[in-house]
A = this chain, B = another copy of it.
Amino acid sequence: MENFVFQNPTKIIFGRDTERQVGMEVKQYTDRVLLHYGGGSIKKSGLYDRVVASLKEAGVDFVELSGVQPNPRIGLIREGVELCRKHGIRFILAVGGGSVIDSAKGIAVGVPYEGDVWDFYLQKAVVKQALPVGVVLTIPAAGSETSPASVVTNEEGALKRDIGTDLIRPKFAILNPELTFTLPPYQTACGAADIMAHVMERYFTRVKETDLTDRLCESTLRTVIKYTPLALQNPTDYAARAELMWASTVAHSDLLGTGRIGDWASHMIEHELSGIYDVAHGAGLAVVFPAWMQYVYQEDVRVFAKFATRVWGVEPDFADLESTALAGIERVKDFFRSIGLPVTLTELKIGTDRLEEMAAKCTERGPVGNFKRLDREDVHRIYRLAL
């Protein structure tokens, strides 16, 4: 086990009707917020009205900024920064999924900074201050509701880049599983792939003697594997939606990474995909992760055999652990297929024409991944394996 520091102070408010507490929570910080969200779905569902009513009841004034797209853009973040400055706003309330939260975090670091907020994502500047962010979550997937990360796309150059700092962990996150009843099947499945990817990035480590976190990871994966099909069959199954929602937060809360060194290559390889092609992040991960597994499993077959056995119930063949490992990888692909996700680039209608460019961009800051260090050529091979 590696030495580590773990601290995740986000207050989680979980359960039915909890969005009605948002005004009270915000009021502990301020009486004026930027209300940040995506498109019309929160209006259609009535969530917007309930949030606004709760803010008003608590005496919290707000300015709105909607229009966050999947793979949130730096352009809208710059707009949000200006809006906050203009209205003297010191708190960002994100109502939505990972994209909205990541966009809110971008605004939160941009407002107190004199330069252009994209500097942080280019690592040209270090975040020293951030406005507080609060969350009403509508999509269990990204885990951004308690994470220190924000992933943003710059339209010019199709660059998808991230920042990470404890300063942007949300102060509170309101998680009502009922808000996910209306999620379309494809988005539910993409969310599941994202949750699983957050666990698997941490699970596949070369660090030895990480028994407790191995088991906590396996637990979280098993819950997602059990409940995703149930949520797809019956979108208003509260128990299934609740398990997925809590799993998504636990998966990316850092607890499952304590004492380990995560891999994270698959995320970086996927970022290039969704930076260029505007693919849903979860769908991109469903394509990239199995290809990554195939490419790297021989680095430590026992870890993959353990994964196959404990997570997927594959009977271990002790005389041929490689076959056990490979069976586990097949089970991952089968599972993603069974919930309606693509597992090849071809299914995403992505051909070979830009694979070299993506491999180059992915590794422009050096090799990626820790389970196996991957250079440009390795990443290119993984894209080809995913075709």
Q: CB within 8 Å of B: which residues of A?
A: 1-16, 18, 208-209, 211-213, 215-216, 218-220, 222-223, 226-227, 238-239, 242-243, 246-247, 250, 255, 258-259
Contacts and interface: CB of A to CB of B under 8 A. Distances in A.
Given A9-B9, A216-B216, A255-B250, A242 B1 contact: yes
Contacts of A13: 5
Contacts of A238: 1
Given A14-B4, A246-B259, A212 B216 contact: no
Contacts of A250: 212, 216, 255
A213 B3 CA distance: 26
A262 to B, nearest CB: 16
A259 to B, nearest CB: 7
Nearest to A172: B7
Contacts of A208: 239
A215 B222 contact: yes
A246 B258 contact: yes
A4 B15 contact: yes
A48 B15 CA distance: 46
A222 to B, nearest CB: 6
Nearest to A219: B215
Given A216-B219, A219-B218, A243 B211 contact: yes
22 contacts: A1-B238, A1-B243, A4-B12, A4-B15, A5-B12, A7-B12, A12-B258, A14-B259, A209-B243, A211-B226, A211-B227, A211-B239, A211-B243, A212-B219, A212-B223, A212-B246, A213-B246, A215-B219, A215-B220, A216-B250, A246-B259, A255-B255
A14 B9 contact: no
A132 to B, nearest CB: 14
A243 B1 CA distance: 9
Given A14-B259, A259-B14, A259-B242, A247 B212 contact: yes
Nearest to A177: B1
A206 B239 CA distance: 15
A16 B259 CA distance: 12
Nearest to A237: B209
Given A215-B219, A218-B219, A239 B14 contact: no
Contacts of A8: 8-9
Contacts of A10: 7
Contacts of A16: 3
A37 to B, nearest CB: 24
A237 to B, nearest CB: 10
Contacts of A216: 216, 219-220, 250
Given A3-B18, A5-B12, A209-B239, 16 more contacts: A1-B15, A1-B239, A1-B246, A3-B15, A7-B9, A14-B259, A208-B239, A211-B243, A212-B220, A212-B223, A212-B246, A212-B250, A215-B222, A215-B223, A216-B219, A250-B255
A246 B213 CA distance: 9
The 9 A-B residue pairs with the shortest CB-CB distance in the complex, in nearest-first order: A3-B15, A9-B9, A215-B219, A209-B239, A7-B11, A6-B12, A212-B223, A1-B242, A219-B219
Contacts of A247: 212
A377 B213 CA distance: 42
A8 B253 CA distance: 12
A166 to B, nearest CB: 10
A4 B242 CA distance: 12
A47 B62 CA distance: 53
A243 B216 CA distance: 12
A365 B121 CA distance: 57
